[in-house]
Amino acid sequence: MFLFVTLHPGLTKSFSLMKGLRRYINKHGRHFTEELALSVTGGKWDSAEVMEKAQSMVYYNVTGSTVGDIVFLANYANDTRKPFYKTKHNCVRFALCIVGEYALHDGVMFTKWVGDTKDFDLTPYI
């Protein structure tokens, strides 16, 4: 089944709707929960580890994001093949920079992930 769905203001995409996507967005918005972030990235670092490292950094404008968004981005950076992102410090810094940069675009990383991912069941995360 293909639907034309607005996931983000100004961003629409025709795609196969993930199972449970509407209910997930109604409950959590366009943001990752900690459990979903760890599940989709393989979760090298959990929220406690990421937030402990973030405490020692200066960052701005992350109010529109969740801990799950930051955990997703830190683990996503670690999954890349670039050597720079192999330390927890650099991955968390990357996550905070991205979250701060896109703070005006609420849920942009979740929206991108949904657009790039097929056949994922979100119902266990609702």
Work out the pLDDT band at 87, boundaries 50, 70, 90: confident
Indicate the DSSP class of residue 17: P
Q: Is residue 9 part of a domain?
A: no
Question: 1 or 68, which is more confident?
Answer: 68
Q: Is residue 2 part of a domain?
A: no
pLDDT, tens digit, for every residue of 92-122? Answer: 888 888 887 776 567 888 988 898 887 899 9
The residue segments making up the domain with residue 91 are: 29-125
Q: How many domains does the chain have?
A: 1
What pLDDT sits at residue 24?
94
What does DSSP say about strands 11-16 and 2-8: parallel, antiparallel, or unpaired? antiparallel
Q: Is residue 89 part of a domain?
A: yes
pLDDT, tens digit, for every residue of 20-52? Answer: 999 999 999 999 999 999 999 887 888 888 888
- Report the predicted TM-score, pTM, of the whole model to 2 decimal places: 0.77
